[in-house]
Amino acid sequence: MKKFLLPLIYTILIFSMLLSAVSCNSGDTTPTDAPTDAPTDAPTDAPTDAPTDEPTEEPTEKPTEAPKDDEDDEDDGLIPAPAPLSPKKYDLSKENDKIRLLGRARVTADGTTVDHSAAGIEFQAFMSGELTVTVSSDEVAFFTVYIDGKRLEERFEVRYGEKTLTLASFEGNYLHTVRLLKETESMNALSTFSEIRMTGYIVDAPDERDFFIEFIGDSLTCGYGNLGDSSSTAPGGPLWQNATQAYAFIASEKLGAEASIIACSGMGVDAGWRDYEAEEFYSALSYHRNTAEKFEFDKRPDLVVIHLGANDYALDAPKSSFIASCKSLIKCVRDGYESDVPIIWAYEPKEGRPEWIKIALDELGGADAELYMLALPQNTDGANGHPTVDSHVEAADTLCDFIDTMQILE
């Protein structure tokens, strides 16, 4: 039996080895077991998305976000014009409720007069290219321009006649806000804006400011000599004066208030270097243009600041007359507005007759009647011993702090 089984086993082993060799050399790579899943290169379900050569997303060269330049414009608050712009001009001798008048500016047959310190106009417009304003002045006058709330470094000058000023040149077609303000007091120059030209158009006037403050004062209020120093020649001239860098305007900007500044260098309450006093000057719309045309008290302020007395001190005004004149000016203001508008009487401690001012205010009710006193010390480092811009900034801070502390504008 053994002889029979052994040859049979050897035969089976040899036959198995031969089958394996054939399988390895045949080149067939098909697996011996069928795959349990469908092959990946032949899906059994129809694809749910479009083919890969028609992408569902925008290509990378067409970004979904605005380009960087547009983002920068948005950061700057610039609003693009909704349509192409064309050249346009505006006649400033005609009333236009889209152009806001600042201070005691007035529309006349010749244009918009801007005689007083920091008087001017404000508007907003879609603009491209150059913005020009035609200005006339009987003497030398300087002007300050704000574009989108920022003061331009350039001072714009008009001498003895008419001149067209190029205020700015804009790139692109965007909405901009413009303020054009007179630096020079009315005693030195009377000025008129007659025409605005632009590529674009004016839209609704900017929103009114939160508060309105009226200032009545002398050289300390209109910025006499604030750009000069002890070496300045003709220190009282317009070259060294900028009302938009004097305490009254600076404080108004800090408080977010509109300012009307009625001030004249050398003016006193009862005795000054002029041949008129504060009440006469204040009651006229523009005293140096037309003494007979009276101010109409057409917009009630939230606060009146009076800064007078230094010239009365210098000329030794009599006590009783000075006190009477202080009281008369306060009465003129309140009767004119038909309101007990709050009043702060600011004074220079060394030259402002503070003890006499206090008597006048106390006789009218004092703080209980919203009549306040405030010392505004200022340096003498500007032209002709007047305060510098830095000193005006400190005075403005003092005034703002007092207003906040007393909650006068709340």
Cα(first)–Cα(last) distance of the chain, in Å? 126
Helix/strand/coil percent split, the chain, to 5 = 30, 30, 45
Task: Summarize pLDDT for 249-258 with one digit per residue, the tens.
Answer: 999 999 999 9
**Tokens for 378?**
């200022």
The per-residue pLDDT for 385 is 95
Instruction: For residue 75, give Cα distances in angstroms to 72, 161, 232.
Output: 5, 41, 43
Let me know the angle formed at the C-alpha of 128 by 125 and 129, rounded to the nearest 5 degrees: 125
Task: Summarize pLDDT for 72-112 with one digit per residue, the tens.
Answer: 444 467 899 999 999 999 999 999 999 999 999 999 999 99
Give the phi and the psi of residue 244 in degrees, each rounded to 5. -80, 0
Instruction: For residue 69, give Cα distances in angstroms to 30, 66, 73.
Output: 60, 8, 6
Sequence ranges of the domains in the chain: 87-202, 211-406
Pairwise CA distance, residues 183 & 138, whole Å: 15
- pTM reported for the whole predicted model: 0.81
User: What's the CATH class of domain 87-202?
Assistant: mainly beta
β-strand pairing of 211-217 with 303-307: parallel
- Continuous segment of H or E residues that includes residue 248: helix 247-255
* Four-way CATH pick for 211-406: 3.40.50.2300, 3.30.1360.120, 3.40.50.1110, 3.60.70.12: 3.40.50.1110
Task: Summarize pLDDT for 357-389 with one digit per residue, the tens.
Answer: 999 999 999 999 999 999 998 999 999 999 999
| Statement: residue 29 has pLDDT above 90 | no
Mean pLDDT calculated for residue range 199-207: 96
Residues whose CB is less than 8 angstroms from the CB of residue 217 and which lie 6 or more positions away in sequence, other chains included: 248, 261, 262, 263, 267, 305, 306, 307, 308, 346
